[in-house]
Chain A
């Protein structure tokens, strides 16, 4: 694809900028759609209709209207806030989520950057989110924000371990950290996907990854950093207008990032489930986004069904359940590979 773009524009720099911008072009409409979807999914689960008015058909323009409203809002910075950090925090959070998209293969022909250390890079760069959240919580000079920030730092840092370990299980089978390579290995019918190989160990790893990823993106039942009934709104209590919207954008971008990794590593990524049927670079994008959206739907489904866990229970799940099981999976797969 790079070659193609270089041929069109005649300059490498323009081509690379376009390649870098493509995920952003994807994220913004996706986030608008996902917020709308979240409202609709929750509404239909709760015997409601959700937004029905704005834009005509099933309130499709509701989130666009919301963004326009948020743009007009006064940008309030608390008088006692650390202004620089307060301004910077939402963008750091968004950068952390967005940078991960660089190594996500949307199609066999498109990946932001051909990193050999793709998975490693994603895990590393998404940790940047924690810095942003801590900055937001600390700079707001609000005790509830601080509670939220401390909780999210503890949560995200501890859940990175089971996440990384469960991905490592697949990396051992694939022998590479490059997501594009991992996807190529899963081509063909859906039984070639890694989730079905070395059964049931990779499947367990997949479950561990999914649970841990819920915690990484602060979704219910692990949404304690922004537990609205306890901490008002957690780290973004003091944010208004577009800065508040940036946090949301980052959250939804992050949701897609973890779903995309799950589909790329475990469910064949851009591969069609039915061999050559509907396969190819363009269909690849379709399959990839469809798999990602499926996980996003599951995340919404869980959010509107389950209550929230407590901080200590959250840590218990991470350290005493997920991490040992992830180690067990790695161990079992290692032995399997040796034999």
Chain B
């Protein structure tokens, strides 16, 4: 009799279920694996497991025969924002070598980087809609991303991985129709932003799904060293384009966007999402100003014949679409780098995921992961 009771009790005992989300899962945004401990539908713990896309980026850099060869590898870090990746590395090398790039190059770089920021945020916002079950905004956004990629293709021949920013200059000058194409895009995309806001951002169901979900308070965000839209979504006004100025961003009129908690609490998923939407508008503003002021000149005049920096080291950081991207470059006076270390914003931002997703449901976990917006190429390198 006793044995039967114990058996019954054992059968009735509920236990936590461990679910493997990924590496093959529709909404892990790449080959990320989440080991999710759930109680029913409620998430009690999340453990992100990375490394499925590791390509030995840093070791490769040490094996290069010169510094220029690193750039295509840098492209492959955050492959949806390759221009931003290139810029960070190139900027570091230019500072190391003491190169002053021509004005024309600076303007083109700003335009390219901001177009890239828009293209990257398009993916972030579009796939976020997909994660929450809204298909159509994704395609509206991708229609306009095509315009950006067409501009890139006209300029440097590549649509995804450009190798466009060279140390001291650019691989190609902009084509004659570039300015018109950019103006055309700006005009078109202003309409699309309104459309997406109507269709997705202020949709009642979307707000219900994202507001007050995955709240990341400002102090936690700072303690975890998050950056980019994740940090700004928590209401911290921190943007390296403004706070650690590089290039010519100080010449343009634009504002840093932060989450204000309009729909719920400051630092929820909706805020992080909306920061990206508003940043796209600000990027358009920068592009509009920059494209009218491109000075004439030669984009390759400052490219050094031989790149051999003096022994030393440098850490450079720029504001990539996903946050603070840093490169620590050590030179031993030879033709190739002694060490290149990438500081990935996605990697740091992902570390905050377990902190903010405990106690929410599985559906919310998807929303939180999407709002952090990771690219595994950059995390695993």
Contacts and interface: CB of A to CB of B under 8 A. Distances in A.
Whether A and B are associated in the same complex: the answer reads yes
Interface in A277-317: 304-313
A98 B143 CA distance: 41
B136 A305 contact: yes
A48 interface: yes
Interface stretch (B80-88, B201-209, B227-235): B201-209
A224 interface: yes
A230 B43 CA distance: 13
A228 interface: yes
B26 A310 contact: no
Contacts of B129: 307
B363 A307 contact: no
Interface in A107-154: 143-144, 147, 151
Contacts, number: 76
A232 interface: yes
A229 B140 contact: no
B40 to A, nearest CB: 8
B293 to A, nearest CB: 33
Given A48-B139, A229-B27, A230-B366, A307 B361 contact: no
A45, A229, A306: residue with the most chain B Cβ atoms closer than 10 Å: A229
A310 B209 contact: yes
Contacts of A224: 363
Contacts of B19: 143-144
A311 B203 contact: no
A227 B361 CA distance: 14
Contacts of B361: 310-312
A278 B363 CA distance: 49
Contacts of A307: 129, 132-134, 200, 203, 205-206, 209
Contacts of A221: 133, 205
Given A227-B363, A229-B27, A307-B200, A45 B136 contact: yes
Contact of B208 (A42, A220, A230, A309): A309
B156 interface: no
Interface residues of A, number: 28
Contacts of A151: 41
B302 interface: no
A304 B364 contact: no
A311 B143 CA distance: 32
B209 A230 contact: no
A238 interface: no
Nearest to A229: B27
Contacts of B205: 221, 306-309
Contact of A310 (B25, B131, B136, B363): B363
Contact of B26 (A47, A229, A308, A311): A229
Given A46-B139, A143-B19, A304-B135, A311 B25 contact: no
Nearest to A223: B133
A46 B140 CA distance: 7
Nearest to B206: A307
A229 B208 contact: no
A106 B363 CA distance: 40
A230 B36 CA distance: 12
B140 A143 contact: no
A47 B139 contact: yes
Contact of B132 (A47, A232, A308): A308
B222 interface: no
Interface in A203-246: 220-221, 223-224, 227-230, 232
10 smallest beta-carbon distances between A and B, as pairs: A308-B133, A46-B139, A307-B134, A229-B27, A307-B132, A307-B133, A229-B131, A310-B363, A307-B206, A307-B205
Given A144-B19, A151-B41, A230-B27, 19 more contacts: A42-B135, A46-B135, A46-B136, A46-B140, A220-B133, A227-B133, A228-B26, A229-B130, A230-B366, A306-B133, A308-B132, A308-B133, A308-B205, A309-B209, A310-B208, A310-B364, A311-B41, A311-B363, A313-B208
25 contacts: A42-B135, A42-B136, A45-B136, A47-B143, A144-B19, A147-B41, A229-B130, A229-B131, A229-B132, A230-B366, A304-B136, A305-B134, A305-B199, A306-B203, A307-B129, A307-B133, A307-B134, A307-B203, A309-B205, A310-B208, A310-B361, A311-B41, A311-B363, A313-B208, A313-B209
